[in-house]
Structure 1
Amino acid sequence: MINETDIKHLDRCIELATMALESGNPPFGSVLVDQTGAVRYEGHNETAGGDGTRHPEFAIARWAAAHMTPEERAAATVYTSGEHCPMCAAAHGWVGLGRIVYASSSEQLSTWLDEMHAEPSPVATLPINQVVPGVPAEGPFPVLAEAVRDLHRRFHSEHKTGNRA
């Protein structure tokens, strides 16, 4: 169940996604919160330089593997503006991170990008639990998803690109 703390962290993810957009990257932002409620890592998409793996969720998984115990990772929550892609979901599962809360779903993003006539994604659009069965995943949330949709509209109108990374 989503609560005020979840909304606060999802709002921060949308701020980070806006920062990504303003730096020429597709609008995705994510935050890692430990079991005490402390923000341990935050980031946004950095794929504009040509490395399509520079997703914030992937960076969170790598950071968590290097800086947190397995128990701390399992008790942590990853908040993100958009549901993990298969690459990021797999990284999440491999390092044993816990709950995922996302503002907008991969299915929504796929629909929005089709409406914008963007090129198809180079990887399949799959729900998190198809990649990592059993990880607690919550989302999307309609009010927040609309803000994410607006960021994607801006990105694709400003960049005229099919890059979904």
Structure 2
Amino acid sequence: MTDDDRFLCRALELACDNALAGGRPYGAVVVREGQLVAEAVNELHLRPDPSAHAEMLALRSAAATLERARLDDCTVYASGQPCPMCLAALHLASVRRVVFAYSNADGEPYGFTTSALYEQLTLPLAAQSLEIVQGDASLWPDNPFALASRR
């Protein structure tokens, strides 16, 4: 069994345990240099936090353990295809590689897919189902981007 197989099996074990405990069937592990750094399950059933996905929680735990936000030397193993939010977080953390077991198509017959959200994100902002409005930035005297760039 390869390291990929071993860590993917751990993500699947976490997902199955979570599903049996009443949660959503998602687990994720973060690995660095062949060592498990963090693992998590989807916790939406435990707390009212829409970002409590397995990948998000595993990334937070790994960043805390490694004391850095950049995880460019890590691989994330996930039981399911990361949703757009998790995928964005993986990119923002500069994760090197992601390995997942079940695709959106695999989860769809069971009601576990984010395909529609992926489709929404391909649309222009004005065409998405979420109303997105750009307000008047000139209402505030300071530009936060300019302030941050001066540091």
Same fold judged by TM-score > 0.5?
Answer: yes
Matched residue SS, 1:74? coil
Residue 92 of structure 1 and its aligned partner are, at CA, apart by 1.0
Distance 2:115 2:44 in 1: 14
Matched residue SS, 2:10? helix
Indicate the residue corresponding to 1:124 in structure 2: 117
- Aligned in 2, Cα 1:87/1:21: closer, same or farther, shift over 3 Å? same
Task: Check conservation: 2:11, 2:79, Cα contact below 8 A.
Answer: yes
Counterpart check, 1:38 vs 2:31: no
Distance 1:89 1:31 in 2: 14
Name the % identity. 31
**Match 2:94 to one of 92, 96, 104:** 96
Q: Residues 138-159 of structure 1, C-alpha deviation per residue, up to 9 Å, x if partnerless?
A: xxxxxxxxxxxxxxxxxxxxxx
**TM-score between both structures, scaled by the size of structure 1:** 0.62
Distance 1:90 1:15 in 2: 24
Counterpart check, 1:13 vs 2:11: yes
Task: Check conservation: 1:61, 1:97, Cα contact below 8 A.
Answer: no
Indicate the residue corresponding to 2:45 in structure 1: 48
Question: How many residues end up aligned between the 2 structures?
Answer: 118
AA at the equivalent of 1:81: S
Distance 1:98 1:61 in 2: 13
Residue 120 of structure 1 and its aligned partner are, at CA, apart by 7.7
Matched residue SS, 1:124? helix
Higher relative contact order (CA 8 A, sep 6+): 1
Distance 2:57 2:94 in 1: 14
- The answer to which structure has the higher helix fraction is 1
Q: Residues 1-21 of structure 1, C-alpha deviation per residue, up to 9 Å, x if partnerless?
A: xx7111111111111001211
**TM-score between both structures, scaled by the size of structure 2:** 0.67
Q: Residues 106-163 of structure 1, C-alpha deviation per residue, up to 9 Å, x if partnerless?
A: 23223x23xxxx498596146xxx8xxxxxxxxxxxxxxxxxxxxxxxxxxxxxxxxx
Task: Check conservation: 1:64, 1:95, Cα contact below 8 A.
Answer: no
Distance 1:61 1:81 in 2: 15
Larger radius of gyration: 2
Note the residue ranges of structure 2 that are not aligned, 5 or more in a row. Answer: 123-151
Counterpart check, 1:57 vs 2:55: yes
Distance 1:55 1:7 in 2: 22
- Aligned in 2, Cα 1:53/1:5: closer, same or farther, shift over 3 Å? same
